[in-house]
Amino acid sequence: MTVSRRGFIGGTAALGGTAVLADGVNAAGVNAAGAPSAGPVIVRPDDPRYADLAERRVNLRHRHTPEYFHLVTTTAQVVAAVDQAVRAGRRITVRSGGHCYENFVGDGSQVIIDLVEMNEVAFDAKRGAFVVEAGATLMQAYRTLYYGWGVTLPGGQCGGVAAGGHIMGGGYGPLSRRHGLTADYVHAVEVVVVDASGRARAVIADRGHDLWWAHTGGGGGNFGIVTRYWLRDPRARGDDPSKLLPRPPAAVLSGIAMWNWKGMTEESFRRLLRNHGTWHERNSAADSPYASLWSSMIIPSMKTGDDPGGMIMPAQIDAGVPGAERLLQDFFAAVGDGIPPVVPPLTRQPWYQAVRSLSLGADQEVGHHKAKSAHMRARFTDEQADVAYDHLTNPGPEVSDGGILWLLSYGGQVNSVAPTATATHERSSVMKVIHLAAWSPEQDGEAHMEWVRNLHSKTFRATGGVPVPGGNCGGAYINYPDADHADPRWNTSGVPWSTLYYGENYARLQRIKARWDPRGVFRHALSVRPPS
């Protein structure tokens, strides 16, 4: 299967590793089969479709109420939509999956360019790489790549996340310890940018180009609108599609360890987190026999009443690894040393069935919430574990069962890439941390916001309330953005938010921003700023 370069009329011109779209593109565009494409469609508030589009978001804490939504299905339509908005002086934002933790799409936006219908996944024989459009969900990509060619991407567990923002922010998931980040496989990227004169055009940036580099961890909404990625293992040779991306395990062995809050003391909780972090410190090298093991430890705040609830740690491993069952059981035993968990019988499933059953569904994603993130290069200190225990066991009646400490396995092959090889600077961590508070629609969320802010700031009290890179911290993950990191009320470290998310790579990102978005068309609360 070969996908055409939609919207190209009159050929392309190569420039510094980049192909630039020619003038006179067809605003209607064609699909891969050469037939006329749908759209574009402009939906205003008096259109019944507007309400549906306004609801197409995961974090219901935010609102999307632009002057209009612009639905597009081709790159040429994106170019035309951006041109139209820029000429009219309207603020543009872009949406693919709608999973942004903060309100970067809705805040102040007059035009939301929605890529939901740009969801093709195919193989481009001319480029020798797989093409994934920005609106394609991870589950769509997993299914098409696997059933079509027996390959996959090391992307996230939430199947409803779209490729657009996920990949450019780095992208990681259950296969990342073995295969690295999704961004490590970006071969080329197509981006609609706006030049100093206000003219929009589509650019294809190949591996090695500065705009390519910016989209391997530079975060969404910064440089332009990504319409599609080409993906290929940089180590691959030849043109056989079945050998150009990682092959997933034939089968997955999964299990779950469970602990109850009842009887969990501060000391036993401290030991649990110590065990968990120490295991990751010792078993997160790329050549570890545990490289294909991934876990997600979910520790909710204690409930009120007779049943205080409990914590769970789902884990999975490539069933084809020698001694896979023993490795998984030994992992559960190591984390539960001295605090033995309940571990039901393990489950073995074919890989794609495991992806579907272990993915977080839409009902688990959508809601009102506030989240904060951190990379961890080593385990929590005992003092940090005590902060978590205090907040989780005494959340207050409004936050009971609404707060979560979430610890996710990381490292392995991720850390085999140099910090400057891609825009993803953090290549030393062994875990990711998410501090999360969620609440129901009838609650105002104020108590939950205060709870999660205090948990995060007190956890990193020694470094000004934020995870400043150094010691056991590695900064924060741009795909889990937190505007509080730029707020001096919550970041008293003296270290700018840009260092938390980008480290020393930020200066290069600033130069790329100045070159490719000189008018600052694409911006939000944590967007890359041009050099001052």
The predicted structure's pLDDT at residue 209: 97
Question: Which tokens hold the place of 216?
Answer: 């391997």
Q: Dihedral sign for Cα 52, 56, 60, 64, please.
A: negative
In tens digits, the chain (532 residues) has pLDDT values of 333 323 222 222 223 344 334 333 333 455 544 556 788 999 999 999 999 999 999 899 999 999 999 999 999 999 999 999 999 999 999 999 999 999 999 999 999 999 999 999 999 999 999 999 999 999 999 999 999 999 999 999 999 999 999 999 999 999 999 999 999 999 999 999 999 999 999 999 999 999 999 999 999 999 999 999 999 999 999 999 999 999 999 999 999 999 999 999 999 999 999 999 999 999 999 999 999 999 999 999 998 767 888 999 999 999 999 999 999 999 999 999 999 999 999 999 999 999 999 886 555 678 999 999 999 999 999 999 999 999 999 999 889 879 999 999 999 999 999 999 999 999 999 999 999 999 999 999 999 999 999 999 999 999 999 999 999 999 999 999 999 999 999 999 999 999 999 999 999 999 999 999 999 999 999 999 999 8
The predicted structure's pLDDT at residue 532: 85
Q: How far apart are CA 5 and CA 82, in angstroms?
A: 19
Question: Which tokens hold the place of 478?
Answer: 């741009």
CB 192 within 8 A of CB 177: no
Q: How far apart are CA 458 and CA 415, in angstroms?
A: 28
**307 burial level (CB within 10 Å; 0-12, 13-18, 19+):** exposed
The predicted structure's pLDDT at residue 307: 81
The predicted structure's pLDDT at residue 35: 57
Q: Structural domains in the chain?
A: 13-246 (3.30.465.10), 251-504 (3.40.462.20)
Amino acid in position 299: I
Closest by Cα among 448, 285, 445, 438 to 365: 438
Please name the helix (run of DSSP H) or strand (run of DSSP E) that holds residue 431, with its range, or none: strand 431-439
Please name the helix (run of DSSP H) or strand (run of DSSP E) that holds residue 144, with its range, or none: helix 138-149
pTM, to two decimals: 0.92
Q: Name the DSSP class of 494.
A: S
The predicted structure's pLDDT at residue 524: 96
Q: How far is CA 211 from the centre of its chain?
A: 19
The predicted structure's pLDDT at residue 304: 72
Q: How far apart are CA 28 and CA 40, in angstroms?
A: 7
